[in-house]
Amino acid sequence: MNREEARKKATELVSKMTVEEIAGQLRFDAPAIERLGIPEYNWWNEGLHGVARAGVATMFPQAIGLGATFDEELMKEIGDVISTEARAKYNFQSAYDDRDIYKGLTIWSPNVNLFRDPRWGRGHETYGEDPYHIGRMGLNFIEGLQGDGEYLKTAACAKHFAVHSGPEALRHHFDAKADMKDMWETYLPQFEVCVKEAKVEAVMGAYNRTNGEVCCAHSYLMEDVLRGQWGFEGHYVSDCWAVRDFHENHKVTSSPEESVKLALEKGCDVNCGCTYQKIMDAYDEGLIDRELLERAAIRLFTTRYLLGMFDKTEYDDIPFDVIECDKHLSVASRAAKESLVLLKNNGILPLNKEKIKKIGVIGPNANSRASLIGNYHGTSSRYITVLEGIQDYLGDDVRVFYSEGCHIFGPKTENLAKDYDRLSEAKAVAANSDVVILCLGLDESLEGEEGDTGNAYSSGDKNDLKLPPSQIKLLETMIEANVPLIVLDMAGSAMDLCLAEEKADAVIQTWYPGARGGREVAEMLFGEFSPSGKLPVTFYKNTDQLPEFEDYSMKGRTYRYIENEPLYPFGYGLTYGNNTVKEVTVMSGGSFEEASKSSIKLIVKISNESHYTCEDILQAYVRVGGTADEVPNAKLAAFERVYVGANETITVSLEIPAIAFTTVDKDGKRSVTGNSADIYVGFSQPDARSEALTGNKPFAINIK
């Protein structure tokens, strides 16, 4: 069904409703209108990395781990799996007349906010810190969610619009200040891709204000940009209880009724929260009219018609047993493999189980289900922790010792014990092991959304980049044990891993690898596949390298603007192989003028000078010359996952889009202002730290 037809049907249906009936349909928990054959519908469903909060579903790595895959094709497959399982659930739940929260077809994902500061607790819901990368990953995820059938398979939602990335504790009254250059260079490009290219059906507003206006009633963002410049035709939803913040916290209105008026006038169609329960009061006071209510309701019912809620669709027969089927679990396994990032390896990896008699698995995240899943998760019928993955992989061939080592953040694991009550056990495990796998990091109780799970620190944000004191003590103790040491950081954000980088034999960033991700971690450790993930965020050495958290200027933030040397750069990640770019040939768009008008197409010759077959992420970075408007450092312009056999040389094509050769001026206008460009093609950024860590330089060319 096309939008014009759906809108026509929606308009006709809404015309038959009373004002009170229309008002009810603008709530996220819309009641039934039995006389019109409209069942109740709850707009709130989650699918960030699997259908969430509604029972069993295939659970993928957390979004930040998916970002580390740099795999567009995989993102589309994941979106398709999630929408298939959401449809299967909707089918059986509706058959049982279960229309509760988290059981609809409107999926409030993806989160395409830019992860600008590693202290932000919700950063692990995002794909990383680069707008181009986020846009490509989000576009494919949305296409997978929405499908390409006669009807929308599910309706995706790009959130949180816009300029939102902490602090969580301040979000209900905070005003994020961003100049037009930062807006159009950093905060808006990925949303533009989601709207204009992916045709996302919904956009969710943020809690905060941006440049003085609340994001769920923002003249510039919602009217001028979203529906004006971008031509968005879908519906707009408030973040949960954000409209209540208008009068209670932002103080831009003085009553719920005034907040209703402001939100509806600016185009907020459905309210997650309670304020739209005051719509009839606002109507009775003469603050709003029927026409305004109809506009929102027509948009919402257009979406419901596009989803085929009142028709027979090609998705109605998706059976219950597709949920967690082998095919879907295989996609989750692939995602877990591709998400793992090898940060350091002095040659200890991959491990050879034939040479190991005893292995120690230590740490608060070694046998933790919470460290697998991140937030906004569903339920798996089976979990495989890192400990279980190693035990399953090794079987009876190798003795596996285990110690929790410490509490994930507290001083002890047993209330009546003295501090560090598991440290002696950890020492004993290390003393009796040939190698130690130390599993440190966080979980959703230490980094996440404000108020979501009673987060321990700063309303879900981190105070700094350090591991909790209990884990630092454990790490120091394991270093002193003088046993070969592999550190696994199971966290959704950049951490201070300086000590591990200096002293451990290997360091791996696992993120939150999914419900069964411990299996893939074990397989990587023992060389069943070569790691291929790349960092989608910069790992800083400490917070001294960062501006103030509340400062939304991009100066000094992320790899594009960083002014000092990071610990691990964006785009960095080792493999067991040794891939290098030997030659780059320009096939078309060889002048700057040609490239900036269409694109530049390259043929890249890659050699893997090792006996390991491996996947890797080919990356192209661009820095435009002849203009003061370019960002300080070369920016990601294209990426491609490649497969290179042992001691093999291959050629691949890579296209850099024309937008990479544009810049944004102080007024937010994007145009071609340069006259040349340096292009770098390789498996990392063209920065000194990446070169030092990898031992390789990207291939450089210049176009004029």
Q: pLDDT tens, 619-676?
A: 999 999 999 999 999 999 999 999 999 999 999 999 999 999 999 999 999 999 999 9
pLDDT (0 to 100) of residue 454: 45
> Can you read off the two tokens belonging to residue 579?
């891939």
CA–chain centroid gap for 76, Å, is 14
How does strand 341-345 pair with strand 506-509? antiparallel
pLDDT at 337 over 80: yes
CA–chain centroid gap for 663, Å, is 25
pLDDT at 522 over 80: yes
Q: Write the CB contacts of 251 (distance below 8 Å, at least 6 apart in sequence).
A: none
Q: What percent of the chain has pLDDT over 70?
A: 99
Residue appearing with tokens 């610990």? 567
Helix then strand then coil, % of the chain, to nearest 5: 35, 20, 45
Read out DSSP for 622-673? Answer: EEEES-TTS-SS-EEEEEEEEEE-TT-EEEEEEEEEGGGG-EE-TTS-EE--
Number of H helices, E strands in the chain: 21, 23
Q: What percent of the chain has pLDDT over 90?
A: 98
Q: What is the mean pLDDT of the chain?
A: 97
User: DSSP 3-state assignment of 67?
Assistant: helix
Q: Where are the domains of the chain?
A: 3-317, 340-537, 579-703
Question: Half-sphere exposure of 324 toward its Cβ, with a 13 Å CA cutoff?
Answer: 14
Neighbours of 628 (CB within 10 A): 9
pLDDT digits (tens, 9 = 90+) for 104-140: 999 999 999 999 999 999 999 999 999 999 999 999 9
239 part of the active site: yes
Report the distance separating Cα 398 and Cα 136, nearest Å. Answer: 43
Catalytic-labelled residue, pool 117, 239, 461, 616: 239
pLDDT digits (tens, 9 = 90+) for 145-186: 999 999 999 999 999 999 999 999 999 999 999 999 999 999
Closest to 171 measured CA to CA, from 211, 213, 207: 207
**Is pTM, for the whole model, over 0.85?**
yes
Q: What is the mean pLDDT of residues 512-540?
A: 98
> Which ranges of 246-384 does DSSP label H, i.e. alpha helix?
256-266, 279-284, 290-306, 326-339, 370-373
pLDDT digits (tens, 9 = 90+) for 175-225: 999 999 999 999 999 999 999 999 999 999 999 999 999 999 999 999 999
| Residue 451: band (very low, low, confident or very high) from pLDDT cuts 50, 70, 90 | low
pLDDT (0 to 100) of residue 138: 98
Please provide residue 25's backbone torsions phi and psi, each rounded to the nearest 5 degrees: -75, -10
pLDDT digits (tens, 9 = 90+) for 11-20: 999 999 999 9
Q: What is the mean pLDDT of residues 373-394?
A: 97
What residues pair up with 488 in beta bridges, in sequence order? 439, 508
3-317 to CATH, choices 3.40.50.720, 3.20.20.300, 3.40.47.10, 3.40.1440.10: 3.20.20.300
Closest to 140 measured CA to CA, from 187, 188, 201, 79: 79
Any long-range contacts for 256-259 (C-beta under 8 Å, 24+ apart)?
Answer: 256/281, 256/282, 257/281, 257/282, 257/285, 257/287, 258/282, 258/287
Q: What is the mean pLDDT of residues 81-105?
A: 98
pLDDT (0 to 100) of residue 650: 98
- What architecture (CATH level 2) is domain 340-537? 3-Layer(aba) Sandwich (3.40)
So what CATH class is 579-703?
mainly beta
| Residue 460: band (very low, low, confident or very high) from pLDDT cuts 50, 70, 90 | confident
pLDDT at 455 over 50: no
Report the distance separating Cα 410 and Cα 15, nearest Å. Answer: 59
Q: What is the mean pLDDT of residues 400-420?
A: 97
pLDDT (0 to 100) of residue 450: 81
Q: How far is CA 635 from CA 132, 403, 615, 656, in A?
A: 9, 43, 23, 12
Neighbours of 674 (CB within 10 A): 20
Closest to 126 measured CA to CA, from 74, 69, 66, 71: 66
Q: For the CA atoms of 102, 260, 171, 197, what is the dihedral angle to 10 degrees?
A: 60
